[in-house]
Structure 1
Amino acid sequence: MGGLSWIHWVVVLVIVVLIFGTKKLKNLGSDLGGAVKGFKDGMKDGASGDANAAAPANPQQVTVNKAQDPNTVDVDAKTKS
């Protein structure tokens, strides 16, 4: 018993068609195809958008004076006792 033979696959297919019906299976197939197409289009758009995202047009750097910020913790100054 190394796997399913083609007869087993036919029986499984017949049972699936009896349970769901051909109309639901057709809708499921077209929905799945549309989802795959949308995913591929999104990946294609994302790949072209990564080049723009890596180098923003107006980069801003935020600097904070650490001595005045009460939430800043200098981890080098702490010692474990």
Structure 2
Amino acid sequence: MGGIGIWQLVIVLLIVFLLFGTKRLKGLGSDVGDAIQGFRKSMGGDADANTPPQPQQQAPLTTQQSQADRQA
């Protein structure tokens, strides 16, 4: 019985929304997200480090073929 139930959390969130408003909470959330992202970058563990880098596609070198086609 010492734990926090779902209704207590709902009441606390409702009070927080009433006190601060949604605009201020949205700004606070984005600031916290930017701070966490900056912390991860400074620690060397970027958030995108788990995904492999995408290889860049290069156009094939066909300058000799296109020049031969123009002359023909």
TM-score of the aligned structures, taking structure 2 as reference length:
0.59
Identical positions, percent: 53
- Give the superposition deviation at 1:3: 1.0
Cα deviation code 1:45-70 (max 9, x no counterpart): 8xxxxxxxxxxxxxxxxxxxxxxxxx
Q: Do residues 31 (structure 1) and 36 (structure 2) align?
A: no
Q: Partners of 2:2 and 2:18 in 1: how far apart? A: 27
Q: Partners of 2:18 and 2:10 in 1: how far apart? A: 12
- Structure with higher RCO (Cα < 8 A, 6+ apart): 2
Structure in which a larger fraction of residues adopt helix:
2
Q: Where does structure 1 lack aligned partners over 5 or more consecutive residues? A: 46-81
Structure 1 outlier segments of 4+, above 2 Å = none
Q: Which residue of 1 aligns with 2:68?
A: none
Pairs aligned (count): 45
Q: Which residue of 2 aligns with 1:44?
A: 44
Compute the RMSD of aligned alpha carbons: 1.3
> Larger Rg: 1 or 2?
1
TM-score of the aligned structures, taking structure 1 as reference length:
0.53
Q: Which residue of 2 aligns with 1:15?
A: 15
